[in-house]
Amino acid sequence: MSTPGAYLRLIRIGWVLVREGVVSALPSEDLPALPKAAQSFAGLFARRRARNEDRSDRLARAIERLGPSYVKIGQFLATRPDVVGAEFAEDLSFLQDRMATFPVEEARAAVEASLGRPVAELYTNFADPIAAASIAQVHPATVLKDGVAQKVAVKVIRPGVRQRFAHDLEAMFLVAGLQERFVPHTRRLRPVEVTKTLEQTTKIEMDLRLEAAALSELGENAKDDPGFRVPKVDWERTGRDVVTMEWIDGTKMSDVEGLRSAGHDLDALADTLIQSFLRHTLRDGFFHADMHQGNLFVDPQGMIVAVDFGIVGRLGKKERRFLAEILYGFITRDYRRVADVHFEAGYVPSHHNVASFAQAIRAIGEPIHGQPAETISMAKLLTLLFEVTHLFDMETRPELVMLQKTMVVVEGVARTLNPRFNMWKASEPVVGAWIRDNLGPKRILGDVKEGLHAALRLAEAAPEIAAKTEKFSRDLASMAENGLRFDEQTAEAIGRSEARHSRSGRAALWVIAITLVVIAWRLF
């Protein structure tokens, strides 16, 4: 149950969004009369400066006022256009995760607490921060290895960030619960589950050992990939609150003129970027899910180097196969197969008609085949596909939405390097090879092999399964004969919990009422 503090934080969020003009700038065409009137009324309380700004600027300013937690929450929601809408997700995608730095003394203390050794013993030099985000900041440092000084990047967690995120997520859970309760048509988007995903994502991102592990895993997967690599991790100097990695000397992909001046082939870089992403997705089922320009460098040798692995995505073998078949179906205009795959995967509820869904898919695919390949946008294709699946009650698949958003971002980066970038031509070597290896005879042999392994594991576990089944049968018979009973201690605990929740609920309502009175008094 939500605490009174969650309601207060929710009121603050609403007030900041009103004051910065975000509420009054939201699309209102499809709103009923009462909410539309409330939105117009909210516009009266917007700051005068905000009324002359674009919606994305208003949103950025509001989230900056709310604090670093909301910058990260906003960036996460930017990957979920299915939840917040395509326009709102686009506004959120402009959020810059650049925050004020915290003192180097606090960073040193965090490093020593995490690694259990003095900073002077770990690094020969530990400099002031060069960049800071909502969760951590980066320091240049030097280490001595085999008598040779090596420059490294040290990422340190922002003090108190875990507690702040925990409090702010409580308000997010409250919003999600209210949405599921009072806006029935959004239940298919599973807002509470989305918030749980956000909670899990931020927990992982705030344990820098897990980011180091992601760096290490993708580094091993990509060790033989042409034109792509990731920084090496210094495990001796890595802990929960600090990760030390190889320093990257290179040009950011956002600096197109700098890349051109350094003599890099921009068209080749665009092809390498999309091929690397697809390789990681289809071959490995593990991909960097935050591949915007700020996280991509090109080193002097022309290698693309990806950094900041706080957000990663995974796809199982089945999901990879469905993804490849869907892409292949669009390429070959086999729309019935695309529809069948959606139903086989369980993406579309079975009560819908497959032929009708195939017809809707055709409406997306046919216009694409009449265009030059370099004008076909993956972003547009995926947006149209999302609109169609919305009509057929497709439930949210977080792993697929993350993949979709990352693919759109990567395509956007490639097009900044090469405005005539041909997504399909660049993808064909990777996608075509994967399809040949995994959707033909080779796939059947692999499936048979996996089936045999599964049967062997089942045979090994058979005695234990039989014993557990027998015990369950005895317990069930006993329950049927004697009934299900709570012991005295359990009954008392349930009573205390119910009483506590009732008191908390009443207290929360009083706090909300008093807060609204105070706000109204200050306004008038």
The pLDDT > 90 percentage for the chain reads 28
- The burial class, CB within 10 Å (0-12 / 13-18 / 19+), for 327 is buried
pLDDT at residue 95, rounded to an integer: 67
> With 80 as the cut, is the pLDDT of residue 266 above it?
yes
Task: Name the token pair of 292.
Answer: 């915007």
- Considering only 153-157, 273-277, 388-392, which range has the smallest mean pLDDT? 388-392
pLDDT at residue 55, rounded to an integer: 74
What do you get for the CA distance between the two ends of the chain, in Å? Answer: 34
Tell me how far apart the alpha carbons of residues 481 and 504 are, in angstroms, rounded to a whole number.
40
329 — pLDDT class (breaks 50, 70, 90): confident
Q: Please answer whether residues 89 and 81 qualify as being in contact, where contact means their C-beta atoms are separated by less than 8 angstroms.
A: yes
> With 80 as the cut, is the pLDDT of residue 379 above it?
no
Mean pLDDT of the region 156-180: 85
Q: Please answer whether residues 178 and 53 qualify as being in contact, where contact means their C-beta atoms are separated by less than 8 angstroms.
A: no
Q: Which of 70-74, 124-128, 322-326 has the highest mean pLDDT?
A: 124-128
pLDDT at residue 225, rounded to an integer: 94
Q: Which amino acid is at 378?
A: M
Q: Which of 32-41, 116-125, 317-326, 410-419 has the highest mean pLDDT?
A: 116-125
Mean pLDDT of the chain, nearest integer? 80
Q: Which of 146-150, 320-324, 378-382, 392-396 has the highest mean pLDDT?
A: 146-150
> With 70 as the cut, is the pLDDT of residue 486 above it?
no
> With 50 as the cut, is the pLDDT of residue 517 above it?
no
Q: Please answer whether residues 82 and 75 qualify as being in contact, where contact means their C-beta atoms are separated by less than 8 angstroms.
A: no
Cα 297 → chain centroid = 21
Tell me how far apart the alpha carbons of residues 64 and 6 are, in angstroms, rounded to a whole number.
19
Identify the active-site residue in 290, 308, 340, 393: 290
> With 70 as the cut, is the pLDDT of residue 102 above it?
yes
Q: Please answer whether residues 22 and 55 qualify as being in contact, where contact means their C-beta atoms are separated by less than 8 angstroms.
A: yes
pLDDT tens by residue, 304-323: 999 989 888 888 888 888 77
> In terms of pLDDT, which residue wins out, 170 or 123?
123
Q: Is 290 labeled as catalytic in the residue annotation?
A: yes
Q: Quote the pTM value.
A: 0.71
The pLDDT > 70 percentage for the chain reads 75
**Is 153 strand, coil or helix?**
strand
Q: Where do the structural domains in the chain lie, given as residue ranges?
A: 4-97+165-200, 252-439, 447-478
5 — pLDDT class (breaks 50, 70, 90): confident
> With 60 as the cut, is the pLDDT of residue 57 above it?
yes
